[in-house]
């Protein structure tokens, strides 16, 4: 299992590099807040990590993450430059999640494994009902 902190730090590094600004800074500068918002959105939508941990990765609390996530749609709608930067970063990050295509043999093997597992679970349920 991938370490939560490593995953968040990797994402922080990608956002920092892409927007060319350190999102861990303690500032309310517009460009920084928007870049941090991109990080919050990506972390929230690509991981199952809590808002508290996402915020802590850049020195913020869960309420800041929530507030930013509520505003990011507005920023994307009305700021074309941010929208362009965010969409290109989102494409880069989300492309890492694409799975390789499965061969027919692999799919058949997985299907058969699930049928066997299903049968085993049915037997276990019958035992428990007795």
Extents of the domains making up the chain:
4-95, 100-130
Is the C-alpha dihedral spanning 38, 39, 45, 50 positive or negative? negative
State pLDDT tens for residues 11-67. 999 999 999 999 999 999 999 999 999 999 999 998 889 999 999 999 999 999 999
Task: Count Cβ atoms below 10 Å from residue 80 Cβ, excluding itself.
Answer: 9
Task: Give the span between the Cα atoms of 122 and 127, in whole angstroms.
Answer: 9
| C-beta neighbour count of 44 within 10 angstroms | 18
Contact in structure between 32 and 21 (CB atoms under 8 Å) = yes
Q: Of 78, 5, 64, whose CA–CA distance to 33 is shortest?
A: 64
Torsion of CA 65, 59, 25, 63, to 10 degrees: 30
69-112 tens-digit pLDDT: 999 999 999 999 999 999 999 998 988 866 667 788 888 999 99
| Distance in angstroms (rounded) separating the CA atoms of residues 77 and 30 | 16
CATH of 4-95, one of 3.40.50.10860, 3.40.1260.10, 1.10.260.40, 1.10.1750.10: 1.10.1750.10
């Amino acid at each position: 299992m991938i370490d939560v902190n490593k995953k968040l730090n990797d994402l922080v590094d990608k956002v920092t590099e892409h927007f060319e600004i350190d999102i861990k800074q303690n500032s309310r500068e517009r460009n920084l807040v928007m870049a941090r918002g991109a990080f919050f959105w990506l972390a929230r939508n690509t991981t199952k990590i809590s808002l508290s941990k996402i915020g802590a990765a850049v020195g913020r609390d869960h309420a800041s993450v929530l507030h930013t996530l509520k505003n990011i749609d507005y920023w994307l709608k009305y700021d074309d430059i941010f929208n362009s930067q965010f969409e290109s970063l989102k494409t880069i990050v989300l492309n890492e999640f694409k799975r390789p295509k499965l061969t027919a043999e692999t799919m058949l093997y997985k299907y058969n494994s699930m049928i066997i597992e299903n049968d085993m679970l049915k037997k276990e349920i019958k035992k428990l009902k007795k």
